[in-house]
Structure 1
Amino acid sequence: MRITGSTGFVLKPSAWLNTSVVMDAVNKPRNITYKGLTDLVTETDKMSEAAILEVVKKNFEDHLILGEEGGVIGEVASDYLWCIDPLDGTTNFAHGYPSFAVSVGVLYQGKPTAATVVEFVGGPMCWNTRIFTATAGGGAFCNGQRIHVSATNEVERSLLVTGFGYEHDEAWATNIELFKEFTDVSRGVRRLGAAAVDMCHVALGIVEAYWEYRLKPWDMAAGVLMVEEAGGTVSLMDGGKFSVFDRSVLVSNGVLHAKLLERIGPATEELKSKGIDFSLWYKPEDYRTDL
């Protein structure tokens, strides 16, 4: 793991994550607590984040870190921000249901520059991993092989993915309607429950698009870079320029993006007209960006 330039890293997953932290736990009983009514956290979430933090702080002590469990740690004046989701898809993990992952994305002045997502695939008694990596300008890879988004250019021939957060508000209800509408006109809409995995599947070309409201930086920082480096397109759900500090995302294979926005965009604008704000949910104070 080393810095290769002002905007890039080389990240070797084995250098920052001992995957045995999660792998050792997948077939064992879970110690589950709650951050909200249905928002789970396990001891594995905390142990996974601790393992990542130990390596990042040792190698990049002057960098800023934003972890789902631990919050902001480190040098706020840094150009670099590590966005760490130690266990994306905790509810799936707690039930032994694929899909879930460990997701790490590095921002340089607010822009994704390096990413790794370790997806846990299979199921009870047959777990394995699939490792996605990407660097800005360097392409996206799965288990060392370069990957590309699909070439499907019709919604009717597409498999789509979305997600639903813990806030059952108007945005949640609007996305239920989008789910219904796209289910009617596509080959299907899936709800897997792990944003980083969903975006990696778009990058891998096995689904054509993914969208969701109410995400946070650690949900998106790695996945959006995977999609971009695999040749896809990333935007806000109103079609605007994407930032990991906003709270909506649409990623696609690119050729379908405008067609999807024909319905997703107006639905999002209607929510905004009601005063629902999806912009700048959180940015660490004094963290420098050129956004």
Structure 2
Amino acid sequence: MIDLKELCFKTNDIARKVGLFIKEQQSKIKSDSIEVKGMHDFVTYVDKTAEEKIIAELKLILSDAGFIAEEGTETHRAEHYNWIIDPLDGTTNYIHGLSPFAVSIALQEYNEIVLGVVYEISLDECFYSWKGANGAYLNGQTISVSTANSIDSSLIATGFPYYDYNQLKTFMASLEYFIIHSHGVRRPGSAATDLAYVACGRFEAFYEYSLHAWDVAAGSFLVEQAGGKVCDFKKGNDYIFGKEIIASNASIHDEFRNIVNKYMIN
């Protein structure tokens, strides 16, 4: 049986180490080193190299685990443990010299996330937790979701679609609702960071569609460990691989998910 606490702290160290490499490379990014994976979907040598570095380090601390990684530098999947990795969440921000951008690493045991680390590089903030931790942490301090108890006293985060526009009209309608009925809506540009910010109470809620497992696996775990709730748009549990997510503090969760469900499920 592995020691998840020890493994989490080793993962923190890896995220910070690779985060330093990412930060150091930001000023060196040139336009001819940016590849286009799809519509408005970018990747650089930094993403790929960072992923390779993360995987190499993770293999040393859990040798029999598989990997689900955004850039596909390692494709082996294992039956028991799999790491879910986004080496640089917020690449568009990164190449434009903006924040936030983050390293996101989660460990999945069979079908359950048991460890999550989100390292927001520009502010040097490492959010983390593990199964059995009885909480979540930011740079060694306990964090928790906010205590706001209504949408009208909440700050909402979301992400704009950058290639899948099939739900754009309904999404814009939901956005209008939250703009009118909340403290406001923010779109930082890194889903992993958005979720970490829900976990520490900076945002009351977050929702987005057209996401991948590596965008949300670590952050959603942090939200739950910090006392929040997570679901998909249909109010179910298919949010890791289901490409859509709702995350919020516990107090507004029912209200928030009902509104998202009303607009986003036809």
Q: Aligned partners of 2:50 and 2:101: how far apart in 1? A: 13
Q: Please, which runs of 5 or more residues in structure 1 have no aligned partner? A: 122-127, 271-291
Within a 5 Å distance, the mapping from 1:1-291 to structure 2 comes to 3-4=2-3, 9-12=7-10, 13-15=12-14, 18=17, 19-30=19-30, 31-70=33-72, 73-74=75-76, 76-121=77-122, 128-138=123-133, 139-270=135-266
Shift of residue 9, structure 1, vs aligned partner: 4.1
Change beyond 3 A, Cα 1:71–1:266: farther
Shift of residue 73, structure 1, vs aligned partner: 2.5
Q: Aligned partners of 1:29 and 1:220: how far apart in 2? A: 26
Task: Report if aligned partners of 1:9, 1:113 keep a CA contact under 8 Å in 2.
Answer: no
Task: Report if aligned partners of 1:21, 1:47 keep a CA contact under 8 Å in 2.
Answer: no
Change beyond 3 A, Cα 1:134–1:62: same
Q: Aligned partners of 1:247 and 1:136: how far apart in 2? A: 24
Shift of residue 47, structure 1, vs aligned partner: 1.2
Shift of residue 173, structure 1, vs aligned partner: 2.8
Shift of residue 186, structure 1, vs aligned partner: 0.5
Q: Please, which runs of 5 or more residues in structure 2 have no aligned partner? A: none
CA-to-aligned-CA distance 1:79-132 (integer Å, 9 cap, x gap): 1111100000000000110111010011111111001111023xxxxxx41111
Q: Structure 2: which amino acid aligns with 1:92?
A: N
Change beyond 3 A, Cα 1:199–1:67: same
CA-to-aligned-CA distance 1:180-216 (integer Å, 9 cap, x gap): 1100100100111100000000011011000011111
Q: Aligned partners of 1:110 and 1:8: how far apart in 2? A: 21
Q: Structure 1: which amino acid aligns with 2:117?
A: T
Q: How many residues align?
A: 261
Task: Report if aligned partners of 1:81, 1:110 keep a CA contact under 8 Å in 2.
Answer: no
Shift of residue 243, structure 1, vs aligned partner: 4.1
CA-to-aligned-CA distance 1:138-177 (integer Å, 9 cap, x gap): 1210011010000000111110001123224222332122
